[in-house]
Amino acid sequence: MSTNSHTWNRHRFKANADDPRPVKFPPPGPYWISGEGEGYSIVVAYLPLGESVTDWWPEARDIDSEIREEITFTERFPCPDWWKP
């Protein structure tokens, strides 16, 4: 399943280990907690081009971003129940 109503940035970053959720909910695109390290969680989040990761996750660091024309859901990154494209 995919959606292409926006041009998206797919971000991967380190966030708060204790609570890696965004500070505002719902964010404008899906996100997943994909792992954890010592003192941090790894988050993968899609945001529309022009949206800042730090508006949603102020503590985000080590941000890697990639422009995508669509969101592609996979077995590892399924469409969240709360987010409907």
pTM (predicted TM-score): 0.90
Nearest-angstrom CA–CA distance, 27 and 54? 12
Q: What percent of the chain has pLDDT over 90?
A: 88
- 2 pLDDT exceeds 90? no
Nearest-angstrom CA–CA distance, 65 and 24? 20
- 38 pLDDT exceeds 60? yes
Phi then psi dihedrals of residue 82, to 5 deg: -75, -20
Quick one: average pLDDT of 38-45? 97
Q: What is the pLDDT of residue 84?
A: 80
Tokens of 67: 């422009």
C-alpha distance from residue 83 to each of 18, 36, 37, 59 (Å): 23, 23, 26, 23
Nearest-angstrom CA–CA distance, 77 and 56? 19
Quick one: average pLDDT of 80-84? 90
Quick one: average pLDDT of 67-75? 93
- 12 pLDDT exceeds 90? yes
